[in-house]
Every structure is written in C-alpha cells, then in structure tokens.
Structure 1
Amino acid sequence: MVLLLLVDLDPGLTALRPLGGFFVLRTSDAPARPLPTLAETYGGGTSDVYVDSMTFRVRKVGAALRAPETRVAASVAQQGLAARLWSVALGCAVRYGTLPDLDPEILRWDPDAGAPDDLWLTEVRPAPGDLAETVLEGHLRPLTDLVRTRYGIAEGLLWGNVASALAGSARLLEQWARTRGRSEEAERTRALTARLLGHPLLAGTGTLTGTAFRRRSCCLYYRVPGGGVCGDCCFARPPRSSPRAASG
C-alpha cells in the first residue's frame, strides 16, 4: 500500500493549478450541462446527456485520430483517462501529502471534451490516504474491466496503458518540481511512482529507470495514420506484422 498523511485540503485544490491543465481538477463552477459520474461510466449506465459515456468517448477519439479499428480508439481513450486520474491523484499526494475523496460517485467526466480529459469533483473532502486503493482499485480496475470486456483488448495491454499513464504523469510532475528547486517534491514523486509500479496490478508491465519507463506492451497508437510508436513503446519502430501482434 502507498499510505499518505492527512493534511488540510483547500476547496479549490489550488496547489494543482501551477502544475498546468493536465493536473488541474475542477471543483467549482458547475458544468453547463449534466455530466456523467465515473461510477456511471464504469457501470455502463446513463446520464441526462450521454446514453453511454465510454462509447461516446471512444467514438470521439476514433474520429479525431481516424483510427482504423475501434479497439485502437478504445485503447487511446482508456490511457487518456487513466493519465488524468493519475495526474490529479499524484499532484495532490505530492503537493498536499494527501488525497481528496475521489469516489467515482462524486467525480464527473466530460466525454465530449478535448484532451486532456475534463474531470470535475463535486465535493472536496479528505479521504483515507491509500493511493493505490483510491486510483487503481477505485477507478482503473473497473475502467480496465469495462474496456477489456466491451472492446476485446488484451488485459496486459490495458494494464500497460495504466502503467504508461502513471509514468508519464510522474515524469511531468517530477520535472516541474526539479525545475523549481523543489527537490523534496521531486523525490516524493519518484518514490510514489516506483512503489505504485510494484503493485500486483502493474508489476511486470515495464521497467522504470530514473524517470524513463519502457513498457512491455504496445497501446496500438502506431495503427493510427501517421501515429508511429510512443516514447515508451516496446517497439523501436512500428511493427509490420499482424495488427494483433501488439495486443498482448
């Protein structure tokens, strides 16, 4: 477990704002239209606007990328949401030393937003500080189960996406801290990331060397026209074999 010490959280989570839009979590200014909670998303439920928010998001991502297969869009969508969940959680853990309650019932998501994914917390309240339980068990396990079941994507690929999203968020946060002389926050980021990557759900998904992560699977982004391979991909260049060769 990754345990944190509880300290006070300000209602606007203002300590996240200097980190940039990738880390910001909206807590005020109710959205103009009803947004689904992530609990509804993971359960395949409905909201006032979106019949099925994950399907909506996958279609939007697929159209934007001109993805040749739905599973490619689903992989990219899952990784994008995972990255945002990691960023807000890591940002709070490092800057506050604790987490707000990120219960899927009170965390809302706009599947029609651009990138990065838009998240809105309806109530800021402290939560017991187990980072792995809050993010991995509370969000990324049900998200991964949904995408795996609905789109037939290999579980190893999806957990590789989760690990890649964690490493990417941590790298941005550590770079921000080091460039501002906040060595303690940089070291805290690195330590939390290493411990999370050792969690049973993520162990074996890749290798972390300093801030560099090399995953053992591929997110399928190379299948997008002009996409190429990502910086942490297991492939040095886009494979020429069957498109399903990278799905494990």
Structure 2
Amino acid sequence: MNPAPEQPRPDYARLAAVGPYFALDTDPTGPPPPGFRPLPELYGTGPDAPLAARIRVVAQRLGTAELRVAASILHLGLAARFWSVGIGAAVLLGTVPTLEHAWVRIPDQGPIDLWTPPEPVRLASGDLVDQLHDAVLIGQLEPLAAAVRAAVPLSARLLRGNAASALVGTLRVLEPHAPGPARELVAQLLDRPPLKGSGTLLAGPRGAAFRRTSCCLYYRIGPGAGLCGDCCFTRPPARRQRNH
C-alpha cells in the first residue's frame, strides 16, 4: 500500500496581503528573530508583566489617567490581532494555526508581531468553527482576558464584548477577499458561547455591522472622543458613570 501523499504546509505568508493584523511570520530554518519571546509570556501577571507595562504605555499615549480605559483599548486591539490570523487563515487557507509554539514581539507602534515555526501537518479534529473556537477563543482570548483583568479590574462582560467587536472588525477587513465564507464563520462564532449575547451582527450599507451590548469605554478618553460605531450607547454617558 502506497503511503498517502504529504499535505503541503499552509502558506501563511499570503495572510499579510490582507493587512498587518493578519500577518503571521514563519521560518522553518531557524529560531525566531531577535526581540521575540514565547507567546505565553504575554499573559504573565504582576506589575512588571508585559501587559501591565503595555497598559501604562497605552494610557500615556491616549492621554488618560484611567488604566481601565487603556486596558480595554489594548485588549480590543490584541483580540483583533488574534482573530485576524485565525479567521484569515481559515477563510484563505482552509486551516487554523494553533499558535501553540508561537512567539511574540511588541513593537512601539502597530499590531504585535507574531512568529511561529511550521506546524505539523495534522488531520482536522473538527470543522473550522470548532478550530477557531479552540485556537483563538480558548487558546488565546481566555488567557488574554485573565491577564488583563489581573492588571486592571474590568468586567468579563466588557471583555467578551471587545472580543465580539474585534471579530466583526476582522470580518469587515476580510469581506472584500471572501465575503460569504468569512461572514458565515463569524455569525456561527457569535451564536455560540462565550460570545452569544454579546451583540447583534447586522448587514450595513458598507458590509457587516455590529451592535454590541456593552461599551469598550473609549468615550472616556476625553470629551471629544465620541462613541465607537458598534457601541451600545447612542450618546456618551455622563463621565461620572462607570459603565462596563
């Protein structure tokens, strides 16, 4: 009996063409570039942990003294980064990277850099929605939320809303490349726990739209910040309120 032909490894380099949030570097010949650290270290806790330090940097750049506002905005961006890699690979390559052995580098500006050695070719243990749920929601966003909450007190509901908002934001970027498959995957993810109930996916004149049931606190940056397009509020609440 002839052995089954070896399956080609996914060409993750294709993801970068969609945008910087989708990029996933891989190199089969050597270690990660200088400045990278194992991804699990990103989820460390304590005052000197990478996320705690980054929250303080984000607060300074936003000009806010409220660390919880900076923590929420940082979490939203990181969630978008992981969703972009996962959904992008699922739609464009038919696979989902687990990032089990990934490394990360935090640049001064822009999304975090992700590097991973080539993953072994493996048989899928479930459909793409199941793989995304396990690799992104369970594998990355759960420890990310725990690390953020260890640094700054934020409600779990707010962070679930951020994860859902970042997911739909990823869809809006990806829709021109694969509108049908991308929207179907996102709709299924929003319809299962833990994202179920975090908002409503809508069809807007410019593509996917979303109305979340929580607020990311962006309006608290300052009087002129306004509301995000998917906010649960129709006008900024009074600044004395602490809405999660």
User: Aligned equivalents of 2:84 and 2:132: distance in 1?
Assistant: 12
Match for 2:77: what amino acid? G
Q: Does 1:98 align with 2:91?
A: no
Shift of 1:241: 4.8
Secondary structure of 1:152's partner?
coil
Identity level (%): 42
Cα gap change, 1:126 to 1:197, in 2 (>3 Å): farther
SS at match of 1:194: helix
For residues 1-248 of structure 1, the aligned pairs below 5 Å read 8-10=8-10, 13-28=12-27, 30-33=32-35, 35-44=36-45, 51-103=48-100, 106-126=101-121, 128=124, 130-174=131-175, 176-177=176-177, 185-210=178-203, 211-225=208-222, 226-244=224-242, 246-247=243-244
Q: For 1:57, give the aligned amino acid.
A: R
Give SS of 2:37's match: coil
- Confirm or deny: 8 A CA contact 2:13 2:24 kept in the other structure: no
Separation (CA, whole Å) in 2 of partners of 1:173 and 1:114? 22
Ranges in structure 2 where 5+ consecutive residues have no aligned partner:
1-6
Which letter maps to 1:90? Answer: I
Residues 112 and 58 (structure 1), Cα distance of their counterparts in 2 relative to 1, 3 Å cut: farther
Going from structure 1 to structure 2, the CA distance change for 1:32 and 1:38 (only over 3 Å counts) comes to: closer
Report the CA distance between 1:55 and its aligned residue: 1.1
Q: Is the 2:56–2:70 Cα contact (8 Å) retained in structure 1?
A: yes
Matched to 2:9, the amino acid is: L
Is contact 1:108-1:119 (8 Å) kept? yes
The whole-number CA distance in structure 2 between the counterparts of 1:16 and 1:190 is: 17
Measured at CA, do residues 37 and 67 of structure 1 come closer, stay the same or move farther in structure 2, by a change above 3 Å? Answer: farther
Distance 2:96 2:70 in 1: 30
Comparing 137-146 with 13-22, greater Cα deviation is found at 13-22
- What is the CA–CA distance in structure 2 between the aligned matches of 1:86 and 1:222, rounded to whole Å? 24
Question: Aligned-pair RMSD on alpha carbons?
Answer: 2.1
- The one-letter amino acid paired with 1:160 is G
* Contact 1:217 1:234 (8 Å CA) reproduced: yes
2: CA distance, partners of 1:111 / 1:58: 12
Comparing 114-123 and 202-211, the one that deviates more: 114-123
- In the alignment, is the contact (CA less than 8 A) between 1:205 and 1:217 conserved in 2? yes
Structure 1 pair 241–58 and aligned structure 2 pair: CA distance change class (3 A): closer
Shift of 1:68: 2.4
In the superposition, the TM-score normalised over structure 1's length comes to 0.83
Query: Using the alignment, how far apart are the partners of 1:194 and 1:8 within structure 2?
Result: 29
